[in-house]
């Protein structure tokens, strides 16, 4: 039997969501009778309550501020379809396929908690969409993060009923045409199911899972680049001494220092000609990167708590037969996590930008050629090395830093002052992904530049191959397969783009 990720209401990890999003893992609903019974109880209870004229928000009433509007029984079944349609106003870019698959996975996990009153058939349809890679086309913009991700999730609900568009086999097509080709019948939503799909935090949480993974890798890669920059600057490895870091016991900071120590082979390098201490962007790198390293465990807990929650409204307790009206759709925890993460990540950009400045400038680089040019002496005057790349790093860093204004403090009262305090969690998550994108660009450029700087130091004879750790040697050998040392000026865009892609694929195994 094919190994599948089983959905049974038990907790998922960020890594499991990523595996589904990347298409490396198919999914299945648990065959356990008790799991199906829990799902069925909520659905049956709702049906009974509806038959007995119970008042249920979003089932027998309008939505949001319209909750005072009573829906006549003959119109109740039409209400979910209207919910999906009037929210079809998303704008901006659309989520990439990986992000949209993550959204499906996260929403499925929430509904599998058994407190949303949905049918088994709806869960099966989400499983089918994931496994057959029928991916909803979801615009990024239009959510204030309460009542959850209504507008972007309406595109998921619309696909369930055979409307709007999907990606299928690398083509963007109408859902109806794909369903017809595959012999799939559009789902008829039960009275609360439109709300159950749309009223929750699945988009912001899915993006947060993706952001966490990328940030974790950038933390490690920034550490490796710092080590290479320290080597190239003939820095002092005692800045990362174990005893030194034992007296300031932030675990993440200590971990970064340990990684750099190993990359430096514990070599006590000669002092700079005129400095006892390296500048802050080298000496304090563990303190900068360490903030992110220490934040990651907390951020994981926050994101995974949201991932494994029931977060629509109302909550349906099929076991105790309660309808509980609340605000679990509010994305404040994800908003805080993403506002915090983008701050930490942007600081990586700023750190690497400063390291690049040291490597490039002959006033600070301890004898390296200007702009890290590898040109021979007679051709040095017309070659410019990484000069323009440094300008690019500065531009990308500035834009990343500009994005760090917290989104969560820009709450707006909307929807007739029903949604009068909102989380902005989805905007925070999108901002964080943009900061990650810019920082990956900075990191790609800094990696090539620090690699060039080590190469130039080897050529000078001020560094010997045996001084380099096996990890640095292996990484430099891999970089050499697509980047030759820069001697004569040449366009670097294609190489930078390739390096960025390798970073996003997490191509290099860095630290255990």
The tokens describing 221, both together, are 């890669």
Clarify whether 280 is annotated catalytic.
no
The tokens describing 452, both together, are 């060039």
* CA–CA separation, 36 and 39 (whole Å): 5
Phi–psi pair at 311, nearest 5 degrees = -135, 30
* CA–CA separation, 118 and 120 (whole Å): 7
Q: Are 187 and 122 in contact (CB under 8 A)?
A: yes
The tokens describing 126, both together, are 């989400």
Q: Are 349 and 404 in contact (CB under 8 A)?
A: no
Report the Cα 221 to chain-centroid distance in Å: 16
Peptide bond into 227 cis (omega under 30): no
Phi–psi pair at 292, nearest 5 degrees = -65, -45
Buried b (16+ CB within 10 A) or exposed e, 25-44: bbbbbeeeeebbebbebbbe
Alpha-helical regions (H) of 233-331 = 242-246, 251-263, 280-283, 285-307
Nearest to 227 by CA among 472, 497, 478, 492: 472
* CA–CA separation, 447 and 133 (whole Å): 35
Q: Are 26 and 4 in contact (CB under 8 A)?
A: yes
User: With left for phi above 0 and alpha for psi between -120 and 50, is residue 270 left, alpha or beta?
Assistant: beta
Peptide bond into 122 cis (omega under 30): no
* CA–CA separation, 296 and 282 (whole Å): 22
Report the Cα 463 to chain-centroid distance in Å: 38
Phi–psi pair at 200, nearest 5 degrees = -175, -175
Q: What is the DSSP letter of 310?
A: -
The tokens describing 412, both together, are 């707006």
- Spot the catalytic one: 57, 167, 179, 217: 57
Q: Are 413 and 421 in contact (CB under 8 A)?
A: yes
DSSP 400-457: HHHTTS-SGGG---BTTTTB-S---HHHHHHHHHHHHHHHHHHHHHHHHHHHHHHHHH
* CA–CA separation, 331 and 207 (whole Å): 12
User: Up-side HSE of residue 511: CA atoms within 13 Å toward CB?
Assistant: 21
Counting every residue written for the chain, the total comes to 512
Q: Which residues are identified as catalytic?
A: 57
């Amino acid at each position: 039997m094919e190994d599948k990720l089983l959905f049974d209401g038990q907790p998922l990890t960020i890594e499991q969501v990523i595996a589904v999003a990347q298409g490396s893992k198919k999914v299945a609903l648990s065959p356990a009778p008790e799991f199906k019974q829990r799902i069925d109880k909520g659905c049956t209870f709702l049906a009974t309550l509806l038959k007995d004229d119970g008042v249920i928000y979003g089932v027998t009433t309008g939505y949001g501020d319209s909750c005072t509007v009573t829906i006549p029984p003959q119109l109740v079944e039409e209400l979910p379809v209207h919910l999906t349609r009037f929210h079809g106003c998303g704008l901006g870019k659309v989520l990439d396929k990986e992000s949209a698959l993550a959204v499906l996975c996260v929403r499925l996990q929430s509904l599998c908690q058994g407190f949303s009153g949905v049918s088994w058939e709806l869960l099966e349809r989400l499983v089918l969409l994931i496994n057959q890679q029928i991916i909803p086309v979801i615009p990024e913009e239009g959510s204030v993060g309460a009542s959850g991700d209504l507008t972007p999730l309406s595109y998921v609900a619309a696909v369930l009923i055979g409307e709007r568009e999907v990606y299928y086999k690398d083509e963007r097509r109408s859902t109806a045409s794909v369903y017809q080709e595959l012999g799939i019948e559009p789902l008829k939503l039960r009275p609360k199911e439109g709300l159950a799909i749309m009223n929750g935090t699945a988009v912001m949480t899915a993006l947060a899972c993706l952001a966490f993974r990328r940030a974790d890798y950038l933390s490690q890669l920034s550490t490796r680049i710092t080590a290479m920059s320290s080597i190239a600057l003939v820095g002092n490895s005692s800045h990362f001494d174990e005893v030194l870091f034992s007296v300031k016991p932030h675990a993440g900071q200590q971990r970064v220092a340990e990684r750099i120590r190993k990359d430096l082979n514990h070599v006590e390098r000669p002092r700079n000609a005129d400095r006892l201490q390296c500048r802050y962007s080298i000496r304090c790198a563990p303190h900068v990167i360490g903030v992110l390293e220490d934040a990651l465990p907390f951020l994981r807990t926050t994101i995974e708590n949201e991932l494994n929650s029931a977060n629509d409204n109302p909550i349906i307790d099929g076991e105790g037969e309660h309808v509980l009206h609340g605000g679990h759709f509010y994305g404040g925890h994800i908003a805080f996590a993403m506002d915090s993460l983008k701050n930490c990540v942007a600081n990586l950009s700023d750190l690497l930008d400063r390291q690049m400045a040291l490597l490039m400038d002959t006033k600070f680089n301890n004898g390296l050629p200007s702009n890290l040019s590898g040109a021979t002496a007679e051709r040095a005057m017309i070659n410019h090395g990484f000069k323009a790349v440094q300008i690019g790093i500065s531009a990308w860093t500035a834009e990343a830093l500009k994005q760090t204004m917290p989104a969560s403090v820009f709450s707006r009262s909307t929807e007739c002052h029903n949604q009068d305090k909102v989380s902005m969690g989805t905007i925070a998550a999108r901002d964080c992904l943009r900061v990650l994108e810019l920082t990956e660009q900075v990191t790609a450029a800094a990696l090539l530049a620090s690699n060039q700087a080590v190469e130039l130091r080897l050529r000078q004879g001020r560094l010997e191959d045996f001084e380099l750790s096996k990890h640095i040697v292996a990484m430099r050998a891999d970089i050499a397969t697509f980047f030759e040392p820069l001697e004569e000026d040449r366009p670097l865009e294609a190489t930078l783009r390739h390096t960025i892609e390798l970073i996003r694929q997490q191509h290099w195994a860095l630290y255990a």
